[in-house]
Structure 1
Amino acid sequence: MTVSSTRWWLRHQRRLAPWLFLIPALVVFTLYVLWPICESLWLSLYDWDGLGDKTFIGLANYRELWQDPDFWTSLRNNLIWLVGFGLAVPLGLALALFLNQTVFAIRLVKSLFFFPFVISQVVIGMIFIWFYNPSFGLLAELFKAVGLQPVALLSSPDLVTYSLVAAALYPQIAYCMILYLTGLNNVRSDLIEAARLEGAKGWTMLWHVILPQLRSATFIAIVVTVVGSLRSFDMVSIMTAGGPYGQSRVLAYYMYEVALSEYGYRMGYGSAVATVLFAIMLVYILFVLWRIYRQEKDLD
C-alpha cells in the first residue's frame, strides 16, 4: 500500500469501515431475499407449470384471484389467525407477571411454561390432534364429564380455523412470556417503590409504572406475533392439510397447494398468491419501521 493510499484510507476509514462489515450481509440478503422476491413478482405474470415454457399472461392471475372463492377463504382465515394470535401478547404478559416471583420451585414452573416454545411444531400439532380427537381425546372426555356430546373440531368447517389458532397459540404464548420475563428483570425497582409510596397498586401500578417500562418487549411481541399469524403454515399442514373442504386454508398453505402440490403445479398462480401475502406483510413492516423511526426521533 502506497503512502497516498494509506493517507486516503486514514481519512475515510470511519466512513468506509461500517460498509466493509455490511457488504457480506447485504450480498447474502440480496441473493436469498430480494432476488427471490423479485423473481416471484415476475413469475406471477406468467402461466407456468414449473417444467414447460412460460406464457406471459400479464395480470390474469390476479384477476383470477379476485374471483377465486378459495383465495378469499384463505384470506379470511388469515384475518382470523391475526385476531386470534393477538391474544398471545396479553396472555404472555399475564403468565410473566404470575411467574415473576421468588417462591419455592418457581424455576421448575417457568421451565414447564417455557417447554412449548422449544418443542417442534410437528409435535405440538400431533398433540392437539389427539387432544381434539372426538373418540378418545382429552377434550372429548372433558365434554363427557360435564354431560355434553364431544365435537369433532377438526372436521367442522365452522370451528376448524379457531381450533388451529388455539393450538398455535400454545407455543406463541410461551414466546411472549419469555419476552416479558426478560423485560420484567429490567424494570426499575426504585420507580416501583416510589409508586407504592404514592399509593399506587394493582392495575394502577401495572398500567402506569410497569407497562411503560415493558414497551420494547411489547413492541417485539406484537411484531413477532403478527408476522407469525400472517405466515402460518405448519399447523394447517400438520393438523388438517387445508381441510375439511378447504375451509382451514391460509394464504401460505394455499400458495403451496396451487403451486407445488398435486392439486395445482401452477407456479405463476401460486406466485400471485405469494405476492398478495407479501404485500400485506410489507404494509405492516413499513408501519413497524415508521414507528421505530418516530420513537428514535422522539428520543433525539
Structure 2
Amino acid sequence: MIARKSLQRCTPAFLLAPGLILFFVVIVYSTFKTLWISFYQWDGFGDPAFIGFQNYRELWQDPQFWTALRNNAIWLVVFLLAPPIGLAISLLVNQKIAGMRLAKSLFFMPLVLSLVTVGVIFTWFYDPTFGILAKLFGLFGLPAPALLSSARYVTLAIVFAGLWPQVAFCMVLFLAGLNNLDSEIIGAGRVDNARGWQMLRHIILPQLKQVSFIAVAISMIGALRSFDIISVMTSGGPFGSSSVLAYQMYEESLFSYRFGYGAAIATVLFAIMLVFIVWYVASLLRAENGG
C-alpha cells in the first residue's frame, strides 16, 4: 500500500522528467552556451580564443547589424497589423451567411502552409516577367517593379508575404474567442439597443481582450524570429538589405565560420525577445490577478 502511494506521488515527476530534461538541454543549456561562445573567437573547429566583448564592439560598428535590426523593426511594425486584420476577417466569416464556410476555409488555408511554401508562392507572385504582379501591371501597360531586387522595397515585400499566414493565425484565434462569447451579455446589450459599432466596442471587444493580447504577443515574437521565408525569397539580398538578425546570425556562423560573432548576434536577439517575453508573462499575471 505504501509502495503504491509512493509510486502515485512519483508518477507526475516521471511524466514531466523527459520534457524537463529536453527543455534544460535544448533551451537552457544552449542559451548559456551561446552566451559563453559570444565572448570567444571560434571557427567551430579549433580551440576558441577568449576575446571578451570584442564581438559586441564589432557588432556595434557593423552597418549590416543595424540594417538587420532596422528590418526586424519593420517586421515588428507590419506584423502588428495581423491582429486587427484577423479580427476583421473573423467577424466577417463568423456571420451566418451562405458561402461563409467556403470563405472561412480559403482564409484558413495559409495557416496550413509552411513559410517555405509561402515564400515560394510569393516569389512567383512578385516575379516581374511572368508573376501575377506582372500581369496586373500589364493590364495598365506598365512594367512590373522587381520588388525582390530592390534594396528599398524588398523588406516590405517579404514582410507582407509573411503577414499572409500570420493574419490567418490571428483569424483562427479570434474565431475561437467569438465562439466563446457570453450570450447573456450579448442579449443584455441587444435589450439596451446596442447595435453595430456599439455592440462591437462595448460588448464583444472587452470579451476578446485576452485573445487580442495573445494575438499581439505571438505576432511580435513571430516578427522577431523571422528567418525561413527570407532564406527562401532573397537569402538576405540584395546585398544584405533584407537580412534580419536571425538570418545574419545564420550567415556569420555557417558561411563565415564566425561562431563567436554569430553567438553575439543571437544573444542580442535573445535579449530583445526576452523583453517581450517578460512583458507578456507580467501582463498575463496581472490579468489573472485582476490587476
State the TM bucket, normalised to the shorter chain: over 0.9
Deviation of 1:18 (Å): 5.4
Q: How does 1:69-108 map to 2 (within 5 A)?
A: 69-108=63-102
User: Match of 1:274?
Assistant: 266
Tell me which of 118, 121, 124 is aligned to 1:127.
121
> Is 1:285 aligned to residue 285 of structure 2?
no
Tell me how far 1:120 sits from its aligned partner. 2.0
- Measure the CA separation in 1 of the matches of 2:12 and 2:207: 31
Quick one: distance in 2 between partners of 1:121 and 1:260? 21
Gaps of 5+ in 2: none
CA drift of 1:91 comes to 0.5
Of 225, 231, 238, the match for 2:232 = 238
* Cα offset, 1:189, TM superposition: 2.0
**1:93/1:138 CA distance change after superposition, 3 Å:** same
Which amino acid is 2:155 matched to? T
Correspondent of 1:161 among 133, 148, 155:
155
RMSD: 1.9
Identity between Structure 1 and Structure 2 (%):
53
CA distance in 2, matches of 1:279, 1:28: 22
CA displacement at 1:21 relative to structure 2: 4.5
The structure 1 residue matched to 2:27, chosen from 22, 26, 33, is 33
Work out whether 1:254 is the aligned partner of 2:270.
Answer: no
Q: Tell me the distance in 1 between the aligned counterparts of 2:62 and 2:263.
A: 15
Aligned residue identity for 2:62: D
Structural mapping, 1:14-29, within 5 Å: 19=13, 21-29=15-23
Tell me if 1:62 matches 2:50: no
One-letter amino acid of the structure 2 residue matched with residue 280 of structure 1 = I
Question: How many matched pairs?
Answer: 291
Report what 2:190 is aligned to.
196
* Equivalent in the alignment of 1:178: 172
Structure 1's unaligned 5+ residue stretches are none
CA shift for structure 1 position 19: 4.8
Letter in 2 for 1:284: F
Cα distance in 1 for partners of 2:282, 2:12 equals 24
Corresponding position of 1:222: 216
What CA distance in whole angstroms lies between the structure 1 residues aligned with 2:16 and 2:4? 22
TM-score if structure 2 supplies the norm length?
0.94
2:287 corresponds to which of 281, 292, 295: 295
Q: CA deviation at 1:104?
A: 2.2
Secondary structure of 1:298's aligned partner: coil
Partners in 2 of 1:183 and 1:296 — Cα distance?
17
TM score, norm. by length of structure 1: 0.92
